[in-house]
Every structure is written in structure tokens, then in C-alpha cells.
Amino acid sequence: MSQSSKRIRYVLKRLLQAIPIILAIVVLNFFLLQLAEGDAVDVLAGEAGSATPEYMAELRAKFGLDQPLIVQLGVYLKNVVMLDLGYSFRHEMPVSQLVFDRFIPTLILMSSTIVIAVGFGIILGLIAATGLNTWRDTAISVFALITYATPLFWVGLMLIVVFSLNLGWFPTSGMENFAMFYSGWDRVVDIAHHLVLPTITLSLFYLALYTRLMRASVLEQQGEDYVTTARAKGLTERRIVFVHVLRNALLPVVTMAGVQVGALIGGSVIVESVFAWPGLGMLAFEALFSRDLNLLLGIFLLSASLVVAVNLVVDIIYSLLDPRIEVS
Amino acid sequence: MKIKTLLVNMTCALGLALAGSASAQEEGGNFVYLVQPEPPSLASFLSTSGPIGLVAPKIYEGLLDYDNDLNIVPALAESYEVSEDGKTVTFKIREGVTWHDGEPFTSEDVAFSIMEILKKVHPRGPASFAEVTSVDTPDDTTAIFNLENPAPYMLRALSGYESPMVPKHLLEGTDPRNSDLATNPVGTGPYVFEEWKKGQYILLTKNENYWKEGLPYLDRVVARFVPDASTRTAAMENGEVMYGAYGAIPNIDAVRLREMDGFSVSTDGYAMINPMALVEFNSTREPFDKPEVRKAISLAIDRNFLIDNIWFGYGKAATSALSSNFSATGLYKAEPEAYPESPDVDAAIALLDEAGVTPGDDGVRIKATLDLIPYGEDWRRAGEYMKQALMPLGIEIELRYEDVPTWLKRVYQDYDFDMTMNYFYQLPDPVLGVHRHYATSQIRQGTHFVNSSQYSNPELDELLAAATTEADADKRAEIYGQVQDILAEDMPVMNLFEMEFLNVFNDKLHGHDASALGAYGSFDQVWIEK
């Protein structure tokens, strides 16, 4: 069997395995969410000011909350299998539409963050490791330590104070300047302009992690026999690092990046809140406090699928980076 | 005066409004203001939720409006007339008004809005229009409200925020609770709904066919959602937003912006809302079933300390069950004995002794939990103050801070609390906002923001019923005097202070304070200085 058809078979098998995992996640989340006191009707009625018990009972019937739990779960699972994520009664909108609208901004923020954090992390880690115990190494390590230890919301607010309020380079918040009605490239540039501060904030935290990881990984690889061999062959130090060490040292970093994609969706609540970035994290946060179960389950389902997909991609990247790791 | 007639001439009022602020206004521009949190929907006919009130009244209008001195100003009704016995109110409906979809607005819409929508599905509508038995529509411009009993408070509940007029042709025959209007509103107001980007903003555009000549000035109005309070302040400072009300900018930042060039802070526009910070006691639980205990706690609290140190000086110490704002209608009566100017710990201790609540071996008389309304840090700090302030009385307080649904269920469904800190809107008339605290009929398990104290006093019930239907202002004031006396003695709810919410705005903004409703108004006269 050729390498590529083997790979396709592998992907299909992994996808099939993912289905029960995702369903299990949905069921587990469903029951976990039942532990919270109060329901969506309590919140809606509370916000409305005053509502009669009859009205609330009517709402519960409309939302299906008066049914036994197991029936509610059954209905939900049936819908999910038919790719219907249900209806958010709070937002008066289908969950799929809500989630999709908010998924795009999350994706933009997440991808730019991963690219910056992993990219710069690798570079800084490499610089630190190749200049072990020099001032470069120390400076980078201190920088990593500080950014890792600083709370995200504080970094965000400080960036706003410096770059928005004092220097006026970037807008304080939001994803685009909607009052301007940009379209085409102007809109892309406008969104990129708004993206800078949130991306820097979120990247700084993860950057530290990847820098440390890369540094350790490079140091470990440099002690390997093949490096000694390469050096004995008379290869330049530059060639050894970029051709031999780098590739091997990347593996742990890629693993970590895969694991953290999931965390990034949840972890960006703070950044989304500080910069009013209309992403999934904020949506999930609000959905939890308004007990909007359908919406929450929809978000969990999406992030679970995303994590599964990313892990699959990571496994494939492995085999590209290191052909010794076979897909099977 | 044989027939009591109240006529308001709109042409005159509008003429004055235009003449008073002539020439200065500038046309056009985009007005971005803060709304926090994002509203769940724009169905103001279903929910009186605060964020909905910040947006929906720009789209929907009411029959009447109210100026800053709380005088009635005509809106969709050109004038009205109350019959001598107070049981018939005739509204003359404005001609030539159209819905945003082009259909004409008529008295049929009024009758439908009142009878089918507000009376049936609005949270406060059943109380506001309790006495309305039918609405007759002899022609397109006349709506006659037939009342069971006189309802003087009703005329205070006809603003676009409190009782929006909704389009009959879009709602008739549908389930109003499940209507498309919730996310795609169609009204008669100065701004037309354009777009709602969830998590970002709601965009409204100018109503070119608005019935007020020459209004509105703005091209677009944008309600922006920014979850983080510090970022909201930064956005205001940076000129990205121009207006924030109802605590959108926290007091701590508002006092800083107040000192800066280009920004101002005001407390106008809340007189129709009348927010009151308070503590509800569970009067079915020992020892809070004893009026002396409740009153002792009131005596020991330094209300001005709360206002000065936690709310940065914005607020006014409560002096009765009713807000002092009701002195405008003559209903307010001060109760200095139960609401002393400065705390009186000795008197409080004497009251506790009298009630037989004595200290145990450890010096503690009462151990209780104080629930805090989960609406932000200020309430937590207020709780911490209460804990300290009650210590000298031998009352040991444990604070509990939960999320909104949990807290609502605990207080209004399970009645599983000792005391809870909260705030209520007293609204423009006690019938609308205050009776729900105290009437026996308002002990409604599962309904939020009613009589959670489960306080029941037949004598008070009678007075409240009498005050509801009393048309004579002096007699009404007398009844409320007695009501306040009883409540000062029994104190099932301890008022803390009359809250003053803040409007923070950019100095280039004008005309946002045209109505008594403030941020819940229509913004029809707002304009921006270039």
C-alpha cells in the first residue's frame, strides 16, 4: 500500500474513533450543566423584572425544560446526529448560526496567536539555546518568565493605555470600525488593525511557554550522538542547527501547540472580554451565566470537534517532520 | 370645574422645543454609545430588562413622554382627556404616523398593544393596565380606555420604554413570545433597526419619515457592547464611544473622567426609574420575624458611609419606604425615627434587648447570612461594610455571593435566605414599583422582584388598595403617609439609599437629556458637535 492511501485510511479511522468521543463529551457536559442551580427561564424572568409563575411554566414548556432529563438528552442527541444544534431561546436564534458567527473572530484571533506564539517561541528558544548562558539566553529567559507570570487582563489593559490612549496607534476594542462601513481590502486592513493588541496580549503568555520548551528541546538534541557525528564530519555549526537539530527539536513544540488549541478557545475569554473581541469564549461565558444550555452544548461540541481535528493534524505533521513516526 | 379635562397641545409643545434650541444643532453623524450587557433580545413588549430599555425605545414609542420636570408630553397621542369619574380616558391619536415598514399607525394598534400585548405578556403591564377593561376605537385617531376604577398611575406608565406601542399587523395571530420582532423590531420611533452583530453592536439608522418635523439629526445610532469596564472607560476616553449610562462607566472611573477636559457626568434621567438600594428580610425566619430586629439593623447602618465610600458620593440616604423623588407628587413622607441621619448603635441594642434577642456566651446575638445581589463589586463591598457595621450589635454576618440564576432562585423561589441586598426600581408611581414589595397578594412564589419577605399585614393591604384607586391627590398623599408610618415600624424591607446612576458623556454630545427617561428615552434630539 502506498504511503498516501495509508494516510487516508488512517485519517478515516481516526475520524470514526472521534465520533463516540465527541458524543461522550456531549453527554458528560449535559449532565454537568444540570448541576448548576436555576435555569434559562429564571434568568430571562429575572432580567425581565417580573413574570408570573404561569408565564415561567409556559416558557419552560416552550424550551422543553419541563421534560424529564433523559428525554431532554435524547432529543438533543437525536438533533446533534442530524447535525442540528438546536435553538437558543435566549438569543432567539439557531445555535449553529450564533456559533458560526462567533467562530470566525475566534479563529482569526486563535490562528494569529498560534502563528506568533509558536513562531517567535521557536526563534527565541533557538537563540537562547545556541547562546547558552550568554546575555542573550539570560535576557530571553527573564523575558519569558515575566510574560508568563503577568496576568493576561493586566497586559491587555496596559497595552490599551500605552498604545491606544497615549500613542493613539490602535483602537481600544472591538473587531472593526463598523461606523465606517469598510469593504474589501479596507475591511481586512481595519480588522488587522484591531487584531494587533489582542493578539500580542494572548501571544505573550503562550510565547513564554514555547520559548522555554524550544530552548530545552534544542539543548537536549545538541547532546545527541548524531550532532557529535555531524560535527565530526566537519559540518558548520549553522548547518547542524538548522538542518539536523531544528527538525527534531520541533516535535515537542508541535505536540504542545496541538494540545493548546483547545485551551486557547477557552482561555481567550479574558482577552475577548478586555478587547470586546466577539469570539466564542465570551459567548460561552455569557451562555453559562444565562443557563443557555443549547448554546453551551453547541460550543462544547464545536470545541471538542476542533480539538480532535487539530490533534489529528498534529499527528500528521509528526510523520512529516519525522518519517520514522509512521501513521498506522 | 365641571368636567376635568387635561389637554396638551402638541403643536405648541413641539414649537417650543424647536424654538428653544434653534439653529445650533448640526445634522448628521454617527452616534456610538455603550450598552452593557448585550441585551438578550429587543422585545421591549416582553421584558423590561435594562439593556433592552437602552436600545428598544429608540425604535418603539409610547403614547406619551415625560419631560425633565416629569410633566406629561404628547408622543403618539396628541392629547388625552380623563372623564370626571376617572373611569374613561380618551386619547387622540396622532395622524400621519407610519410604522417603519410603511403601514399606517392607527388606534387599532393602540388597542391591540394594550389589550393583547402589554396586559398579557409584559412583566409590568398587567399592573399598569389592571383597571383597563377594554379599549374602544370609534375611528383611526381615537382610542378610548374604559377603566374598572380610576387609575391615576396609568398615565405615568405610557412611555416608549414602559409601554411600547407595537404593530398589530405584524403580531396579530402570532405568538408574541415567539415573534420575529424580538430580533427584527419594527416601530414608529426616530431610528430604524438595521443590523445586530451579536457580541459587537446593534446598528440603527435615521427614520426619514419620522413624524417630528426635522428630527432626528443623526444618520446612525450604534449601541456597542464592551464587556470589560476598564476598556469601556478607555473607549470613552479615546472618543470611540460618546455616551454610557446605567453604570456602563463605573463610578470610580466616572469621577476621574469628570475632571478631564471634554467629558461630563450627570445624574439626570432616572426620575422615572427611581432606583432604591435595600435589604430584604425573610420575615418568616427567626429572628427576622421580629420587627424590632429589622428596625435595629436599620438604626445601626451608616447610609452615608455606603454612599460616600463605595458609590463615590452618588446617592441619597433613604429616609422612608418611598423615595424622596415622590415628594414631587406629594406622596413622600420622611420617617426620621426609623431612618436616622447617623447610626444609633445604642438605640439598636436597646431594641434587640427589648425583643428578647440577647447575646449568648460568646457575645453573639444573631448568626445570619447576607446574600448579595450579583451585579458587581460595589455590592460586595457594601456587604463587607454591613458585616462590620452589625458586629457591635452582636450580629454575625456571613456573606454569600452567587451568580444571577442561583441567587434569584434562592430568594424568590426557595425563600432560602435570611437577608438579601438588592435594589428595586420604584418607578414613577408607588403602585407600579413599591406595592410589589409589601402587599400580601404579592407573595408570589417563583416570581422575581416581588414580596420575598413574605410580609403580610391586612391593614397595609387595605391602604394600598385604597391608594391604587384614589383619584384625589391630597387623599392619596394622606394614605401613603399612613403606609410609610406602618412600614417604618414594621420594616420588612430596609431601604438603604436612593441610587444615582451616572451618565458619562463626551462634551460634543448634545440633546441626550431631553426626556425624563434619560438613556431609556428615544434620543430623537441627540446631535453631535463637529
**Closest approach of chain B CAs to the CA of A158, in angstroms?**
10
Asked if residue B316 and residue B462 are part of one domain, the reply reads yes
For B422-447, write each residue's pLDDT tens digit.
999 998 889 888 998 899 988 888 77
What's the pLDDT band for B16 if we cut at 50, 70, 90?
A: very low
Chain A hits for B225, Cβ within 8 Å: 276
In this complex, which of B30, B226, B409 lies closest to A276 when CB atoms are compared? B226
What's the pLDDT band for B218 if we cut at 50, 70, 90?
A: very high
Q: A254: domain CATH number? A: 1.10.3720.10
Has residue B231 been placed in a domain?
Answer: no
Asked if residue B282 and residue B167 are part of one domain, the reply reads no
pLDDT of B14 reads: 43
Has residue A281 been placed in a domain?
Answer: yes
CA distance A229 to A223: 11
Is the confidence at residue B30, as pLDDT, over 50?
yes
Tell me the H-state helices in A276-321: 280-289, 293-321
CA distance B518 to B501: 11
Has residue A56 been placed in a domain?
Answer: no
Q: Which cell numbers in the block locate residue B430?
A: 408607588
What's the pLDDT band for B9 if we cut at 50, 70, 90?
A: very low
To which residue does cell 488587522 refer? A192
User: What is the DSSP pairing of strand B30-34 with strand B220-224?
Assistant: parallel
Has residue B62 been placed in a domain?
Answer: yes
What's the pLDDT band for B488 if we cut at 50, 70, 90?
A: very high
CA distance B207 to A157: 38
CA distances from B10 to B74, B213, B297 (A): 6, 12, 50
Q: Which helix (H) or strand (E) holds B136?
A: strand B132-139
In this complex, which of A45, A90, A172 lies closest to B238 when CB atoms are compared? A172
Has residue A289 been placed in a domain?
Answer: yes
- Which string of DSSP letters, residue by residue, matches B88-126? EEEEEEPTT-B-TTSPBP-HHHHHHIIIIIIHHH-SSHH
Mean pLDDT over the full length of chain B: 88
Say whether the peptide bond before residue B216 is cis (omega within 30 degrees of 0): yes
Mean pLDDT of B367-386: 91
Interface contact B50, partner A, CB < 8 A: yes
Interface contact A166, partner B, CB < 8 A: no
Q: Which helix (H) or strand (E) holds A234?
A: none
In chain A, how many domains are there?
A: 1
Has residue B40 been placed in a domain?
Answer: no
Question: Which among A35, A50, A296 is the top mutation candidate for probing chain B, defined by the most B β-carbons within 10 Å of its own β-carbon?
Answer: A50
Interface contact A325, partner B, CB < 8 A: no
Tell me the H-state helices in chain A: 3-34, 40-48, 53-63, 69-81, 95-130, 135-149, 152-159, 185-222, 225-232, 237-239, 246-267, 269-275, 280-289, 293-321
Is the confidence at residue B96, as pLDDT, over 80?
yes
CA distances from B81 to B1, B108, B133, B188 (A): 14, 18, 17, 23
Interface contact A96, partner B, CB < 8 A: no
In this complex, which of A47, A90, A276 lies closest to B231 when CB atoms are compared? A276
pLDDT of B20 reads: 42
Tell me the H-state helices in B165-250: 168-171, 229-237
To which residue does cell 406601542 refer? B165
Asked if residue B451 and residue B346 are part of one domain, the reply reads yes
Structural domain containing residue A131: 104-296
How many A×B Cβ pairs under 8 Å?
Answer: 167
Q: B114: domain CATH number? A: 3.90.76.10
Asked if residue B164 and residue B301 are part of one domain, the reply reads no
CA distance B285 to B291: 12
Has residue B68 been placed in a domain?
Answer: yes
CA distance B75 to A262: 53
Question: By C-alpha distance, which of A102, A133, A66, A155 is closest to A295?
Answer: A102
Has residue B504 been placed in a domain?
Answer: no
Question: Which among B228, B413, B424 is the top mutation candidate for probing chain A, defined by the most A β-carbons within 10 Å of its own β-carbon?
Answer: B228
Has residue A317 been placed in a domain?
Answer: no
Has residue B166 been placed in a domain?
Answer: yes
Is the confidence at residue B174, as pLDDT, over 50?
yes
What's the pLDDT band for B205 if we cut at 50, 70, 90?
A: very high
Has residue B94 been placed in a domain?
Answer: yes
Contact: B197, A278; criterion CB under 8 Å: yes
Question: Where is pLDDT greater, at A303 or B493?
Answer: B493
Question: Where is pLDDT greater, at B274 or A67?
Answer: B274
To which residue does cell 395622524 refer? B95
Q: Which cell numbers in the block locate residue B530?
A: 463637529
Q: Are B491 and B301 in contact (CB under 8 A)?
A: no
Is the confidence at residue B491, as pLDDT, over 90?
yes
Percent of chain B clearing pLDDT 90 (strictly above) = 60
For B122-168, write each residue's pLDDT tens digit.
878 888 898 999 999 999 999 999 999 888 889 989 999 999 999 99
Burial class (CB in 10 A: 0-12, 13-18, 19+), A133: exposed
Interface contact B242, partner A, CB < 8 A: no
Q: Are B348 and B297 in contact (CB under 8 A)?
A: yes
Interface contact B124, partner A, CB < 8 A: yes
Has residue B331 been placed in a domain?
Answer: yes
In this complex, which of A39, A55, A165 lies closest to B405 when CB atoms are compared? A39
Question: Which among B403, B417, B420, B422 is the top mutation candidate for probing chain A, defined by the most A β-carbons within 10 Å of its own β-carbon?
Answer: B403
Chain A hits for B181, Cβ within 8 Å: none
Structural domain containing residue B485: 275-499
ipTM value for the complex: 0.77
Asked if residue B58 and residue B162 are part of one domain, the reply reads yes
Calculate the CA dihedral of residues B466, B469, B474, B478 and round it to 10 degrees: 20
Q: Render the burial of B309-321: b for 16+ CB within 10 Å, e for the rest.
A: ebbbebbebbbbb
**Closest approach of chain B CAs to the CA of A56, in angstroms?**
8
Interface contact A37, partner B, CB < 8 A: yes
CA distances from A242 to A237, A239, A249, A320, B259 (A): 9, 5, 10, 16, 58
pLDDT of B94 reads: 93
In chain B, how many domains are there?
A: 2
Residues of chain A predicted below pLDDT 50: none
Q: Which cell numbers in the block locate residue A228?
A: 557529535
β-sheet bridge partners, residue B30: B220
Interface contact B458, partner A, CB < 8 A: no
Cβ-based neighbours of B475, under 8 Å, separated by 6 or more:
none
CA distances from A307 to A21, A107, A303, B266, B368 (A): 11, 13, 6, 49, 47
Question: Where is pLDDT greater, at B320 or A69?
Answer: B320
In what order do the strands lie in the sheet containing B132-139? B77-82, B88-93, B142-147, B132-139
Q: B441: domain CATH number? A: 3.10.105.10
pLDDT of B245 reads: 92
What's the pLDDT band for B519 if we cut at 50, 70, 90?
A: very high
Contact: A172, B197; criterion CB under 8 Å: no
What's the pLDDT band for B15 if we cut at 50, 70, 90?
A: very low
Question: Which among B180, B448, B450 is the top mutation candidate for probing chain A, defined by the most A β-carbons within 10 Å of its own β-carbon?
Answer: B448
Has residue A79 been placed in a domain?
Answer: no
Say whether the peptide bond before residue B37 is cis (omega within 30 degrees of 0): yes
Asked if residue B174 and residue B280 are part of one domain, the reply reads no
